[in-house]
Structure 1
Amino acid sequence: MRKYTIGIIGAGMIAEKHIQAFQKTGRAEITWVARKDKSRLNGFASRYGIPRGTDDYRELLADPELEAVVITSPPYLHRDMFIDALRAGKHVLLEKPAAINRKQLHEMLEARHRFPHLKVLDCSCRHARLQPKFRFVKEYIRSGQLGEVYFIHHNGVFRNGRPGIEYHPAAKWFLNKELAGGGPMIDWGVYDLSFHLGLLNDEPELKKVHHAFVTSGLDKKDPGTPVYNVEEHGMALLEFDNGLRYYWERAAHANVEAPHETRIYGTKGGLKFAFCSWDSPLITFFDSENDGTGNARRVDTEVDMSSHIDDDYALAEHFIGLLDGKEDPLMPIERAAKHLEIIFKVYEAAGVKLP
């Protein structure tokens, strides 16, 4: 099978994950890497056997032999890189979040519409739609065993998990709203919305943000940078046009730990599980026997995760499937933009000014 030539824009930790995943597929040749820090460029390229490197991503885009790019730079840079890549005729795998404000997002969507023949995939499908638990839960809902889904409750609350401090401490841009777009509500929120709204075929449209808050400054640890203005903990209660209510809580650092748990409530039954691929494979189904007239029942099922190598590999394989013309994107940028609009409205309801 043919291999695709791919260039990597950005050369941090996330770029390394993409490179390793694409190389593992055997279907990609990483022929370029772009990194602004020229002093570290050659070492990074040689470590992964990448033949060409540049400190100007536009040089990479000018190569007519290059077919696709992966944009892994901090979010505030995505707009220009994305638009330039499309103008250069490259397919794009775009790291999340796609943009940090509506103006950037609008310009990116306009550019995408001018180049409909190019393949574009947003990475917010990575931890959500590419793994067996998503398919298992979606089939449960499709089968009608839950009845009408009227409420989804999700929390992912962690302690000492802040990007730029405890997690990947060298990446201080995570702590600056003007560079990252925000804290966990946007960083992880894109995955939460990708998973939960995807279960319902992306049909619900946001009607109202009933309540939202964000907070930070929950300890006195030195962040190691003068700018630290992203939230550490946030919550929102959302209402959608089909009557669905969605309670959504995220924290990279809070004084109570409540790791991933999703509860889906339907008129006939319900589900409880942790959606990430590295969490427990256990999914619990609740209903009443005899079509709702009998005793309460609980059924525990372990989803078979044996075929799932990891989320990054699944993402690389899916992108190659798009390039082959055999798959449709599980997260086109148009859909990712709808999720970001929900997040922007949550921030605004919490009194946060967008970058």
Structure 2
Amino acid sequence: MITGFALIGAGLFGERHAQAYSRHHAVDFVSVCDLNADRAQAIAAKYGARRWTTDYREVLANPNVRAVSVATPDHLHREVAVACAKAGKHLLVEKPLATTVEDAEAIVEAARRAGVMLMVDFHNRVNPPMAQAREAIRRGDIGRPAYVYARLSNTTAIPTEMLKWAGQSSALWFLASHMIDVVRWMLEDEIVRVYAVGRDGILKRMGVDTTDFHVATVEFSRGAVAVFEHAWILPRTHATVKDLKLEILGDGGAIYIDASHNRTIEVYSAERATFPDVLAPPTGEHLTGFVLDSIAYFVDAVTRGTPVLATGEDGVAVTRAICAIIASAKTGAPVNL
């Protein structure tokens, strides 16, 4: 069954949605919307969308559009997502669902009232090492999880060059949203208490008004403790744009993941070493791997009625946890959820 899909927000990650839709056999890629007309037109032409526009209302008025990806900047999700739901369009919202609990809950409620599907694009749930870790935990390979250490950080290139709206975001929204979700999903448990610290100054001196890093200690309802560490100040000489580590200690074993790069291929020149990502290439004509797989889950949910990869409620839980981390870092006191 061929179904009409559209994209609202054609930035760097929005382009990944366009790549995915252009490759999926069940997708009629109807429209691309972006406030930048040149960008909208270019992405539509590059990936075969039939239309482009700078007004998302035109997308929602199109009867051929049944489902929409919302990939606008994180803090701007609510208006567009709620309008999509009210127009009867199924929704794939980029993570984080929103940057306030009020906005996240409003999106979930709008989707519920309209009877449309809502999926949050927490694509690390289909990142192979993460998925295998969850299965190992469910099998009991490490016993009962007791302690988790999760780190996902980026070089300064992300906030200073890649994200024009970095001043309205942070490493928490951009990165911790991934790791908080994946740890909740692996442990199948909810966060009940957080204590966090954060510091700023480095990025502000570089012209970006956001926090350099946060470190949070998080307690789960069944007793597990996790430490989340997220920074936007890795040096540009770092071999890869990200540093991703995950350690899970149980009463019967342990899991260690280093997904900073997969080491499948290493390229050494006279100037530097690089580790091209073959699991989810960030650029190029052919998107493959778990990023594509995540968006395919949404297509399958819309066209075949299968479960979404991550629900709106998952999105609210992550937003609530990050808001608590921010509050704790500001006050210096623990926050109960």
- Give the TM interval when normalised to the shorter protein: 0.7 to 0.9
Name 1:20's counterpart in structure 2.
19
**Cα distance in structure 1, aligned partners of 2:143 and 2:87:** 48
TM-score by length of 2: 0.84
Is structure 2 residue 201 aligned with structure 1 residue 217?
yes
Structure 2 counterpart of 1:231, one-letter code: T
Structure 2 counterpart of 1:324, one-letter code: T
SS at match of 2:143: coil
**Can you list the C-alpha shifts for 1:38-78, whole angstroms capped at 9, x where unaligned?**
35443443233322122211111011121111111112221
SS at match of 2:49: coil
Name 1:271's counterpart in structure 2.
255
**Cα distance in structure 2, aligned partners of 1:265 and 1:45:** 46
**Cα distance in structure 1, aligned partners of 2:73 and 2:204:** 26
Aligned mate of 2:165, from 159, 173, 194: 173
- Summarize the Cα distance change of 1:27–1:114 in structure 2 as closer, same or farther, 3 Å threshold: same
Name 2:274's counterpart in structure 1.
none
Aligned mate of 1:143, from 123, 139, 142: 139
**Cα distance in structure 1, aligned partners of 2:324 and 2:39:** 39
Structure 1 counterpart of 2:251, one-letter code: T
Structure 2 counterpart of 1:106, one-letter code: E
- How far apart are residue 274 of structure 1 and its match? 2.2
Structure 1 counterpart of 2:108, one-letter code: L
Name 1:83's counterpart in structure 2.
82
Name 1:237's counterpart in structure 2.
217
**Cα distance in structure 2, aligned partners of 1:330 and 1:22:** 17
TM-score by length of 1: 0.80
Q: CA RMSD in A?
A: 2.5
Unpaired runs of 5+ in structure 2?
Answer: 265-278, 281-286, 332-337
Larger radius of gyration: 1
Is structure 2 residue 170 aligned with structure 1 residue 183?
yes
**Can you list the C-alpha shifts for 1:108-161, whole angstroms capped at 9, x where unaligned?**
122122123x2211012x1x1113222321221122221111110112244434
- How far apart are residue 28 of structure 1 and its match? 1.1
Q: Matched residues, percent identical?
A: 23
- Summarize the Cα distance change of 1:157–1:100 in structure 2 as closer, same or farther, 3 Å threshold: closer
Q: How many residues align?
A: 308
Aligned mate of 1:316, from 295, 305, 316: 295
- Summarize the Cα distance change of 1:160–1:42 in structure 2 as closer, same or farther, 3 Å threshold: closer
- Summarize the Cα distance change of 1:190–1:46 in structure 2 as closer, same or farther, 3 Å threshold: same
**Can you list the C-alpha shifts for 1:239-295, whole angstroms capped at 9, x where unaligned?**
11211100110112147979322111111111111257x5358xxxxxxxxxxxxxx
Structure 1 counterpart of 2:215, one-letter code: M
**Cα distance in structure 1, aligned partners of 2:203 and 2:36:** 32
Name 2:268's counterpart in structure 1.
none
**Cα distance in structure 2, aligned partners of 1:81 and 1:120:** 13
**Cα distance in structure 1, aligned partners of 2:43 and 2:244:** 34
**Cα distance in structure 2, aligned partners of 1:280 and 1:239:** 33
Name 1:301's counterpart in structure 2.
none
- The question of whether the paired residues in 1 share the 8 Å contact of 2:143 and 2:253 is answered with yes
The aligned runs of 1:1-355 (5 Å cut-off) are 2-116=1-115, 118-124=116-122, 126=123, 128-163=124-159, 165-166=160-161, 168=162, 171-174=163-166, 176-177=167-168, 182-201=169-188, 204-209=189-194, 211-218=195-202, 222-223=206-207, 228-254=208-234, 259-275=243-259, 278-279=261-262, 309-351=288-330
- Summarize the Cα distance change of 1:156–1:39 in structure 2 as closer, same or farther, 3 Å threshold: closer
- Summarize the Cα distance change of 1:55–1:158 in structure 2 as closer, same or farther, 3 Å threshold: closer
Give the ranges of 4+ consecutive aligned residues of structure 1 lying more than 6 Å apart after TM superposition. 255-258
**Cα distance in structure 1, aligned partners of 2:90 and 2:184:** 26
**Cα distance in structure 1, aligned partners of 2:112 and 2:226:** 31
- How far apart are residue 213 of structure 1 and its match? 1.2
**Cα distance in structure 1, aligned partners of 2:45 and 2:192:** 51
**Cα distance in structure 1, aligned partners of 2:7 and 2:174:** 21
Unpaired runs of 5+ in structure 1?
Answer: 282-304
In terms of fraction of residues, the more helix-rich structure is 2
**Cα distance in structure 1, aligned partners of 2:56 and 2:22:** 21
- The question of whether the paired residues in 1 share the 8 Å contact of 2:22 and 2:48 is answered with no
- How far apart are residue 219 of structure 1 and its match? 6.1
- The question of whether the paired residues in 2 share the 8 Å contact of 1:25 and 1:316 is answered with no
- Summarize the Cα distance change of 1:132–1:162 in structure 2 as closer, same or farther, 3 Å threshold: closer
